[in-house]
Amino acid sequence: MISASLRKFAALVVVVAPLFVANTSPVLAQATITVSAPNCIRFDIGGTESNRTLTCVPTTTTPTTPGAPGVPTGCVASISASPPTSAGGAVTLSVSGCSVSGAGVTYWWNKNGVPWNSGNPLSETLPANPLTTAVTTTYQVYVCNLSECAGFAPVTATVPGTGGTGGVIGGTACPGFSKTMFYNWNWASGVLNINTSLDAQGPIGPNGVVVVAFTVPPTAPFGGLGSVQVSPYPGDLQSTTRTTSISTTPCDFTPQADPTFVRSGHDAGTGFVIGAYPRAGMFAPLVAGRQYYINITSRDAEGNSTCQGSGRACDIRFTATAP
């Protein structure tokens, strides 16, 4: 039996239960249940083997038991004093001044309003920002003393814009490529259409890469589907394999570098979705409020160049469409 409290929060639960077939011994069957509620920073598993319960630790600035002793108070989050440059850089988050301490105290962080990581201190490296405007990342900590939790004032890190219009990522071209063609996509416009054969940055050449920077707005609809379409133009190289990725890092085609989504093939178009998608691997799962890069190159999945044409033969047309 699954407790009714399961309906209170977001989690992926695997239930193993006996399946009885006539004249046979019981067989264990597995079922997957997905429940959704965004207001939890973690889930505690309890109950018995036959009656599991999951308890939500909420993302709220109100203690789980108002006024109870042991609820963390006075905590102050801080961020490293040296801000990143437009080329990105590391930031370190820390918490001090809490009224409670010890092995039972844990620190849980939201990043741009989404549950992200835990620890104190905690570090990450912010990517380069080739946009003309600054990109700000907001972190908020929730401190828990066992099951008693409280949220505290957020801190921010800002990566300034380069002021440039294209061709470089944070001041340098993509390493390993002879040509980098860079574009900014304004999500609010809905659609971005690019024909690299008409661009003064081109031609892309047999060892070039296209990089498109965009930011998913915090208000983007959960579950919304978008797409990226790629086709050869003006050359008719339908047999050319291309690779497309959607990543939080420019120039990145590494499948295992989570959360990079990579697709290779004659049709290198792909799709993306805001939030998780039931059929894993079909669409790139994006998080509202984060910056991403669409990367496109004439290489196969092993990184080998697949277009040996000259002039504009390797150029492409692509369309990015928001949900």
For 201-211, write each residue's pLDDT tens digit.
778 888 889 99
Map out the domains of the chain as residue ranges: 4-56, 76-159, 179-321
Residue 67 scores a pLDDT above 50: no
- Determine the pLDDT at residue 235: 66
For residue 105, which of 73, 72, 77, 78 has the smallest C-alpha distance? 72
pLDDT given for residue 8 in this prediction:
32
The percentage of the chain sitting over the pLDDT mark of 70, rounded to a whole number, equals 68
pLDDT, residue 263, reads 86
Q: What is the pLDDT of residue 7?
A: 32
In this prediction, residue 255 has a pLDDT band, given cuts at 50, 70 and 90, of confident
Please check the confidence at residue 20 and state whether its pLDDT lies above 60.
no
User: What's the burial of 275, exposed, middle or buried (CB within 10 Å: 0-12/13-18/19+)?
Assistant: middle
CATH 2.60.120.380 matches 179-321:
yes
Domain 76-159 is found in CATH 2.60.40.10: yes
The gap from C-alpha 167 to its chain's centroid, in whole angstroms, comes to: 24
Q: By CB neighbour count within 10 A (0-12 exposed, 13-18 middle, 19+ buried), where does 81 fall?
A: exposed
Maximum Cα–Cα distance across the chain: 75
> What's the pLDDT band for 277 if we cut at 50, 70, 90?
low
Give the pLDDT mean for 67-90.
Answer: 81
Say which range, 6-10, 175-179, 312-316, has the weakest mean pLDDT. Answer: 6-10
Confidence of residue 3 (pLDDT cuts 50, 70, 90): very low
Radius of gyration of the chain (CA): 24
pTM of the entire predicted model: 0.52
pLDDT tens digits for 284-309?
888 888 888 899 998 888 888 888 77
Q: Which of 3-7, 35-39, 105-109, 236-240 is the most confident on average?
A: 105-109
Contact, 211 vs 251, CB < 8 A?
Answer: yes
